[in-house]
Structure 1
Amino acid sequence: MKNVKNTTLIILLFCVIELIVHLIADYNSGFHGDELLHIATGNHPAFGYMEFPPVIGWLAWIQDQFGSTSVFVHHIFTHIATILILILIGLSTVELGGKSKAVFIVLFCIMISPGFDRSQQLFQPFVFSELFWVLAFYLLVRFVKGANNKNLFYLTVALAFGFLNKYDIVFFIAGICSLFFFKNTQKILLSKQVWKFILSFFVIVAPNLWWQYVHGFPMFQMFSRLYETQLDKLSIGGVFGELIIDLNPVTLLIWLPGLFYMFNRKSKATYRPLAVCIALTILFLALAKSKHYYFFSAIIFLIIFGSIWFEQIVLAWRKWLLYPVIALFILTGLFLLPWGLMVLPLNGFISVYKLKKEENRYQIPFDEYYTKSKWVKTMTAIKAVYDSLPAKEKQGCLIWGKHYSQAGAVNLFGSAYGLPKAFSYHGSFYLWAPGGQMPETVIAFTNGEATIDFFETYFNSVVAVKKVYNPYADFDKDMYQTIYICKRPKQNFDGLKVLFKKRVFE
């Protein structure tokens, strides 16, 4: 009873601390570029989008009802998901035989990891992916311990909604299929009842699969582009190195032993099926050339096992080792925290880490640190260009954002500046592009990923009128945003949609 109380208090303590630091980060930060796309999906609720399944859009729709441009408002579900992740990690640790110290260690590892801090801060599918993976893992543990229809049904539903959030859960599902070869789960998985659960899964995900079919399976176009431009260039060694750094090198002392411990634990009836499932999941992710942060959800499982190993083996050998480990966690956690969460204001971050200007910019790796001021400058510049147009040209004028983040920013912040709506043919914005005749005048803007030649393809007159300098850009192409006035379009909106059909992810 005392252990239950201690465990509950530990989970509660970490939930409170985690929420506080995330709220501080909300206060200091702006939006990540991808978040502006995810927020925009709330204006277009559907059963799917070009880049991801529908869950993020449903959540965005609820948040959009507040009519706010606040970072906090658009992080409501992110913070809820983070708290639920911590609770489920704690419960999973207990289910696997861990006590209060194991729960303390596993939650501490999550909190001091800049990778987890950042993935659980942004309004992106990643935080909800971690939530559904951890929920499914908790239910999987219960199923392995007591194989019955009830546990299998709950697991099926969790996996189905995980699929509706992000397709990466198919790697976990593939790993779970290994349970067909273990005696304590084989009987129920080979029974006639299992078809009911398979059918339940496909009934839940069917609306998204139908949406993909109707729209020509854009997810395959996206994956193809990802492999062409990014994933094929990755190496296993490079990915593993990034993973160690992003999860805090100290946590390697926990999750790497966890990988071996889950295979060697005496309680093989419970541990061995889970170990094979997790190992296969990681192997499938590696074979698919996944980016390092795609492994985060699976690494959580290893941290759970590693924390149990530390409690049951290491502390049973030398109890005093807990204190230097905690001290090491605190020191590294405090140093790395601002590299995952914006707990420092921008100038404080630059000062504390003594960042120097290189090539006329600071090269801040996370755009959340500076986007609050970036978009104010951008909207102000576009407003000046818009106000310079004759009244006749303002009528029907729209704004073309080359990147979805640019169109998303105008549609989120632009009304406060009296700006017209933006459109784009990048990502899911392609689905929402207007049809019919184009206005005679369009204001376009882009980063360095496109030049004036790009817009001259679609307009008879294109003039660059303003540049917005970004002194914090990490890449050359992000140093300037160029604003153009485009006149006399060569085609209508429907023609543009045809031209960009195969270029949605460029």
Structure 2
Amino acid sequence: MGATNHRPALAPAPFAVVPVLAVAATVAAVLTALSGRYGYHRDELYFLAAGDHPAWGYVDQPPLTPLLARAATAFFGDSPAGLRVPATLGCAAVVVLVAALARELDGGRAAQLLAACCAAASGIVLGTGHMVSTTTFDLLFWVLICLLVLRALRTGDGRWWLAVGAVAGIGLLNKYVVLLLIAALSAAVLATGPRRTLRGGWLVAGSAVATAVVLPNVWWQAEHGWPQLTVAEGISSDDGAENRLMFVPQQIVYLSPLFVPVWIAGWRRLWRDPALRPARAMALAYPLLCVLVLLAGGKPYYALPLLLVLLAAGCEPVARWMTRTARVAVVAVAVAVSAAMSAVVSLPLLPPGALSVVNAVNREQGEQIGWPALVDAVETGWARIPAERRDRAVIFTENYGQAGALTRYGPGRGLPRPYSGHMGYADWGPPPGSADGPVLLVHQDGDDGLTRHFTGCRRVARVDNHHGVDNEEQHAAVVLCTGTTRPWPELWPRLRHFY
């Protein structure tokens, strides 16, 4: 690849190791203390089930998060607290990386500490750190990629592209939206420079590394007819209009309304400060990424990692502004108020019965309530099946959350394996041909269309989470049917759905 040819780079300020690690440790301690307060999220139950069916891919996601879920419960215990250890560690790492971004952007120790505090107080970091999701690790990979790209642009050392490629490849094994970041950063660097870092063999080598890492998953998707495209199309068609409408408000809320002046200052600094000329691409990459997300109808939080970069850039001018005690107090209060608001919205602090207001802002809170109660209702329905017919009976659910809850809690109540046509569960079925007896259906309140595939259906139980939380499974119906309208192998393609 030839000799490395790069210009000397100004050394960043010393890293504020002790205070930054103290902030990260505090966040980790809080998350650990609260990790088991409510219960599993529906997606976590699905990841646990998917982890028990290891593969190079699934119809709706790459393999990394399910494998991490499986490893976490194996090492730390089969509980919400054990499962969430990787999420807690990932959140702490993001706090440290945002401080490192501030350092990379010529921020001193005060700016680094402020960046760590702002990250720790933001809703997106706390929310994704509380529970395991693909977004949890996506945030970590995006922030790390941005840090490595900034290092490559600042130093001109092409060898950093190898690290970028490795992290991007692993990130793609977690969530494909990393491609949006790569596209936005590539276009921004081409437009603003420094383009010299794109020349030579190191960028090609880094791309090869990323391709090699993600290739097994790409092969799996190709072998299965690219189901991820179907899932993405469904998300865009179902939620695209709402995502576009709520894009700006959720950007502000997920980070913190009080941090808006900081990241605006960061954008202006990246765009105008001659000392940060190599990092100007980050200022352009954020609006480019927003355009890509809006065009795709993606979730508003897809663009938040780059907003954290702007936040980190804005911490240096804010730190310089904090020259008087009164100004320090203003910033401290803003961070504290943001942390309090983010914690209430993102973490399980309130009693479940008081979640109605929070649930309107962050429905993920409510989705952690009531899964054992759902299984109790199914157990009630199962008891209505005569004992001599249960060996031929089937439990079938509308979605993977219901199936995941029954997979996790059902064996302890003597219930058999559940089946579902939703997402990856469709690949783990159908029931055996001998299962021609009664079918116990579980479907959300009002979604009665599923019953058309079954005969002699009557409701035998109803889900009540006992907290009045208006989540997707509250008042779900448990319906006992005498059988199916056609054999399971013929019926199964009709039962499969992706959203």
> Which shows bigger deviation, 404-413 or 267-276?
267-276
- Alignment match of 2:346 (pick from 340, 343, 346): 340
Match of 2:55 in 1: 46
How far off is 1:16 after superposition?
1.6
Aligned: 1:430 with 2:430 = no
SS in 1 for 2:498: coil
Amino acid at match of 1:315: M
| 1:154 Cα deviation from its structure 2 partner | 0.5
2:444 aligned residue: 447
Counterpart in the other structure of 2:6: none
The letter for the 2-side match of 1:85 is V
Compute the displacement of 1:110 (Å). 1.9
CA distance in structure 2 between the partners assigned to 1:394 and 1:68 by the alignment: 32
Aligned to 2:387: 391
Alignment-derived partner of residue 418 in structure 1: 414
1:20-46 deviation per Cα after TM superposition (whole angstroms, max 9, x unaligned): 221232132212222211221111111
CA RMSD of aligned residues (A): 2.6
Which position in structure 2 is the counterpart of 1:308? 316
Q: Which one-letter code corresponds to 1:102 in the other structure?
A: A
Partner of 1:481: 476
Q: How far apart are the structure 1 equivalents of 2:403 and 2:162?
A: 41
Please list, as runs of the form range in 1=range in 2, the aligned pairs for 1:251-290 lying within 5 A after superposition. 251-290=259-298
- Distance in structure 2 (CA, Å) of the matches to 1:285 and 1:85: 22
For 1:359, the equivalent position in structure 2 comes to none
Provide, for residues 62-111 of structure 1, a one-character-per-residue CA deviation record: whole Å limited to 9, x for no partner: 13435954111110111111121112222222122111221222222222
**Helix, strand or coil for the counterpart of 2:423?**
coil
Whether 1:493 aligns to 2:499 is: no
How many residues are paired up?
Answer: 485
Q: Please say if residues 69 and 412 of structure 1, whose CA atoms lie closer than 8 Å, have aligned partners that are also in contact.
A: no
Q: Secondary structure of 1:97's match? A: coil
Map of 1:345-360 to 2, 5 A cutoff?
345-347=351-353, 349=354
Distance 2:368 2:172 in 1: 31
Q: SS of the counterpart of 2:469?
A: coil
Decide which of 121, 146, 161 is 1:137's aligned counterpart: 146
CA distance in 1, matches of 2:364, 2:336: 26
8 A Cα contact 1:365 1:474, kept in partner: no
CA distance in 1, matches of 2:276, 2:14: 25
Evaluate the alpha carbon distance shift between residue 195 and residue 392 of structure 1 in structure 2; reply closer, same or farther with a 3 A threshold.
same
Q: What SS does the corresponding residue of 1:65 show, helix, strand or coil?
A: helix
Retained in 2: the 8 A contact 1:75–1:122? yes
Q: Is the 8 A contact 1:33 1:405 kept in 2?
A: yes
**C-alpha displacement at 1:161, in angstroms?**
1.1
> Any residues of structure 2 matched to 1:87-236 within 5 Å, and which?
87-178=96-187, 179-180=189-190, 184=194, 186-235=195-244
1:182/1:466 Cα in 2 relative to 1: closer, same or farther (>3 Å)? closer
Asked whether the 8 Å contact 2:23–2:116 carries over to 1, the reply is: yes
22-31 or 173-182, which deviates more: 173-182
Secondary structure of the residue aligned to 1:445 is strand
Deviation at 1:283, TM superposition (A): 3.3
Q: Give the SS at the match of 2:229.
A: helix
Give the TM-score normalised by the residue count of structure 1: 0.89
What SS does the aligned partner of 2:436 have? coil
Change (3 A) 1:88 1:48: same
**Runs of 5+ unmatched residues, structure 1:** 357-361
Q: Deviations over 1:381-405 (max 9, x none)?
A: 2222223322221114331111110
Mapped to 2, the partners of 1:306 and 1:364 lie a distance apart of: 27
Q: Aligned in 2, Cα 1:271/1:73: closer, same or farther, shift over 3 Å?
A: same
State the shift of 1:124 in Å: 0.3
Q: For the Cα contact (< 8 Å) 1:342–1:369, is it kept in 2?
A: no
The reply on whether 1:505 has 2:498 as its aligned counterpart is yes
Bigger shift: residues 491-500 or 439-448: 491-500
Matched, 1:331 2:326: no
**Mapped partners of 2:155, 2:362: distance in 1:** 46
Distance in 2 (CA, whole Å) between partners of 1:364 and 1:480 is: 21
C-alpha distance in 2, partners of 1:474/1:390? 33
* Counterpart Cα distance in 2 of 1:102 and 1:321: 14
Worse-superposed segment, 219-228 or 261-270: 261-270
Preserved CA contact (<8 Å) 2:236 2:296: no
User: Please, which of 472, 477, 486 is the counterpart of residue 468 of structure 2?
Assistant: 472
